Structure 1
Amino acid sequence: MELPTFVLASASPARLRLLRNIGIEPTVCPSDFDESQIQLTNPQALVEALAKGKAEVVAQRFPDALVLGCDSILALDGEIYGKPETAEVAIARWKTMRGKVGTLYTGHVLLDTRQDKAVAGCGITEVHFAAVSDRQIAAYVATGEPLNCAGCFALEGRGGLFVEKLVGCHSNVIGLSLPLLRSLIEQLGYDIIDFWA
């Protein structure tokens, strides 16, 4: 039996790289989902609702597909952080984060339009930030890298220099928990290795 098309409902280059690294060449279809319509204060509920919204928008365009929606946020000291809007916000946020421990949540929703089924999960990883200097923060933000990242850092880029330790799934912090993805695919009755390109 031919497999459904694997669709990534995200414009994230990091998520695309992770999928390609494990042998999956997805169809990329960003959702353009209006995230402002979801107003939740629980970090896990928020990322799962956003991931579901993104996947559902894209699933309407694919009658025979597995559509993966994801969303990540960082929670620190009771605050929820997505992507910083400006360099000034990123600098202020790093001054708040340095030397502290945050929690990175990534909601995952996998919709199977062939079977009309959906499975969901949330990757949760503890991130221990280094006590970086003001000069290091300014230099990092000047690279532009943290402006495109939930949590204001890219673990797989220069931001990895400023993370002391992770507790939990490493790939979750990059935007997609590979162990969770494998589990979601299996819950729908498929084997992830069959999606290898």
Structure 2
Amino acid sequence: MKVILASSSVRRQKLLYRIIDDFDVIVSNFDESLVEFEGDCAYYVMELAQKKAASVEKYLNNKANDRNIIVGCDTIVSFKNKILGKPGDEEEAFDMLKLLSGNVHKVYSGITLIDTLNHKIKKDFVCTDVKFSTLSDSDIVKYIKKGECLDKAGAYGIQGYGGLFVEEIHGCYYNVVGLPLNKLSKMFRSMGVNL
């Protein structure tokens, strides 16, 4: 049996190495814009995760006797039920961080596991509340200049310098980084895979 991560995220790969010694990475080619957000963040991230995993399963076109467990994952930041994706530029990053300043936002991760041998699918999600301190404009500009915000949902990374903005977190820290390890481990066990 082989575990396959359907993600190009270096952060997810590093987290997965904490619980699995050996896995492959096959980047999903699924176009995320095909899934429309209709107001339910949990459903939305689970759909994205499932579509990513399914596109890798289709790519593999496995023979019946090959067993792979494909891990699909997607993470979003939500503030007042509005999704804050990866900022397109520094101005958008500034606006996002200004919005999060002094407020509580939610980070959702959807996870899907697909067993390619029997096509069994497990999907679930995790939600974490994150409270930001009040940020000055200069704090935000200084952070943006560090260059770690443009490739991250919500324009910050809790595992980097952006962690300085986080006053409180209620829920799974690893979810905020991008891969909730506790939930993932339980999902593997529910498929008969002991890590």
Q: Shorter-normalised TM-score: what interval?
A: over 0.9
Partners of 2:154 and 2:136 in 1: CA distance: 18
Q: Structure 1: how far apart are the matches of 2:175 and 2:123?
A: 14
Cα separation, 2, equivalents of 1:162 and 1:92 = 15
Of 8, 12, 18, the match for 1:21? 18
User: 1:108: which partner in 2?
Assistant: 111
Q: Does 1:7 align with 2:7?
A: no
Which residue number in structure 2 is paired with residue 60 of structure 1? Answer: 58
Taking the TM superposition and a 5 Å limit, the aligned residue runs for 1:37-116 are 37-40=34-37, 41-62=39-60, 63=62, 64-116=67-119
Matches within 5 A, 1:156-195: 156-192=159-195
**Can you list the C-alpha shifts for 1:44-102, whole angstroms capped at 9, x where unaligned?**
11101100110000112332311101111111123111111111100011111100000
Partner secondary structure for residue 99 of structure 2: helix
Offset of 1:24 from its aligned partner?
Answer: 3.1
Instruction: Give the corresponding residue for 2:30.
Output: 33
The CA distance in 2 between the partners of 1:94 and 1:86, in whole Å, is 12
Kindly, what percent of the aligned residue pairs are identical?
Answer: 35
Q: Secondary structure at the match of 2:112?
A: strand
Give yes or no for the alignment of 1:126 onto 2:126. Answer: no
CA distance in 1, matches of 2:44, 2:76: 9
Q: State the 1:21 CA deviation.
A: 2.4
Q: Could you tell me which amino acid in structure 1 is paired with residue 45 of structure 2?
A: V
Decide whether the 8 Å contact of 1:72 with 1:104 is kept in 2: yes
147, 152, 155: which one aligns with 1:152: 155
Which 5+ residue runs of structure 1 have no aligned equivalent?
A: 193-197
Question: TM-score, length-normalised on structure 1?
Answer: 0.92
Contact 2:3 2:69 in 1 (8 A): yes
CA RMSD of aligned residues (A): 1.1
Structure 2: which 5+ runs fail to align? Answer: none
Corresponding pairs, count: 189
Q: CA deviation at 1:139?
A: 1.2
